[in-house]
Structure 1
Amino acid sequence: MTTISGNALKIDAVGLDQLSCAAKEDPSTGKKTLRAKTVCEAGFRNMTYVRELAPMLVGEPPALLGDDAAPNPSETALAALGSCISVGMLANATHRGVTLSEIEVAMEGDIDISAVWGVGDTPEGKVLGFSEIRCRVTLAGDADASVLQEIHDNAIKWSPVLNTFRRPVVVASALAVE
């Protein structure tokens, strides 16, 4: 839960406006290339490196032969989706002059793991990945329910991660043998 008791959740409104104006003036400024590198430590323990930040551990639970030390990749995808929606709501609220005191995004998704990473149930035409994701959002702030609904709806509509889930994405992979 993203709540600061007695305080407002805030971002730099002037900085947000500058980003918005720059993107409107030159849409190419909004196009970026993001990078992440994942290195297997041992078993199903993976360290993912992003920018110069501390690495993130991603693993598997014992039921999937992991050591339960970190969220698994699918849980991490849900976390990314929930975080993106939260960021969008705070940005939308700030843009409207609404002060939020609570943002909570609870994510739940149904996934079929019977393919077991390509070594299990893999009939032709099997659809992999999440089949349904449910998102429950709690917002509190100094606006009425209709404005909070507009903030919610706009964040859902424009979430980059949500839109990645909604549409096909071209993924290219190349093997480097060492």
Structure 2
Amino acid sequence: MSTAETVRSSDRDQALRAIVEATSAAIADDPDKAHARFGATGAGGDGLRTEIRIGGHTVLVDEPPALGGDGAAPNPVENALAGLLSCQVVTYRFWAAKLGIPLDGVRIDVEGDLDVRGFFGLDSAVRPGFAEVRLRVTLDGPAARERYRELAAAVDQHCPVLDLFRNATPVSTRLVTGEAG
């Protein structure tokens, strides 16, 4: 790593530690400040495309041609894997800063196995979601291997999207329909 990259990494780590400390102090004073709500809204477009608004961002989701889409964007399960991957990267960065573990780089590869018989209702014994998801995490930095194991354990314990994959989350659906003609 170059001197400039080391300075940027150190500045980033200090900024992340400051966020952790400020958040911890704010929550200590008022635990209600710990609650955050996230949301997205979307609508179907051409074919199987979905245009999603998340804050000030627009995200396109599509299916590959083999599943009836145009392949114009990642499909929903690829986006789920991308959400897990990106949340892991963020959690590694925050926890490395919090634990004082130097982390020069983090690379994550993720893959999941899905049997489409569940989605298409062809076999009721097959779940529609992933049967298994695998992460391969590569960490670069000067710390001892044991420190990176400590970091990985902290990430596994605190990554919000990993928690979604590992644990059932209550989901409620409210169906709204147009007026009956």
Tell me the TM-score normalised to structure 2 length.
0.85
Deviation at 1:25, TM superposition (A): 4.7
Deviations 1:90-133 (A, max 9, x none): 001111223322111110111111234xx54153x542201111
Q: RMSD value over aligned CA atoms?
A: 1.8
Counterpart of 1:161 in structure 2 is: 161
SS at match of 2:172: coil
Counterpart of 1:121 in structure 2 is: 122
Q: Which amino acid aligns with 2:107?
A: E
Distance in 2 between residues matched to 1:61 and 1:91, nearest whole Å: 35
Equivalent residue in structure 2 for 1:58, among 46, 61, 67: 61
Counterpart of 2:94 in structure 1 is: 91
Counterpart of 2:23 in structure 1 is: 19
**Which contiguous aligned blocks of 4+ residues in structure 1 show a shift greater than 4 angstroms?**
none
Tell me, yes or no, if structure 1 residue 108 matches structure 2 residue 111: yes
Q: Which amino acid aligns with 1:50?
A: I
Tell me, yes or no, if structure 1 residue 36 matches structure 2 residue 21: no
* Aligned 8 A contact 2:117 2:126 in 1: no
SS at match of 1:142: coil
Query: Which ranges of structure 1 fall in alignment gaps of 5 or more residues?
Result: none
Distance in 2 between residues matched to 1:149 and 1:114, nearest whole Å: 38
Q: Which amino acid aligns with 1:91?
A: F
Distance in 2 between residues matched to 1:20 and 1:140, nearest whole Å: 28
SS at match of 2:91: helix
Q: Which amino acid aligns with 2:74?
A: P
Deviation at 1:28, TM superposition (A): 3.0
Tell me, yes or no, if structure 1 residue 152 matches structure 2 residue 152: yes
Q: Which amino acid aligns with 1:88?
A: T
Distance in 1 between residues matched to 2:93 and 2:28, nearest whole Å: 20
Tell me the TM-score normalised to structure 1 length.
0.86
Q: Who wins on radius of gyration, i.e. which is larger?
A: 2
Indicate the structure with greater helix content. 2
Deviation at 1:62, TM superposition (A): 1.2
Deviation at 1:69, TM superposition (A): 1.2
Number of equivalenced pairs: 170
* Aligned 8 A contact 2:92 2:152 in 1: yes
SS at match of 1:100: coil
Query: Which ranges of structure 2 fall in alignment gaps of 5 or more residues?
Result: none
Instruction: Give the number of the structure with larger relative contact order, counting CA–CA contacts within 8 Å between residues 6 or more apart.
Output: 1
* Aligned 8 A contact 2:115 2:126 in 1: no
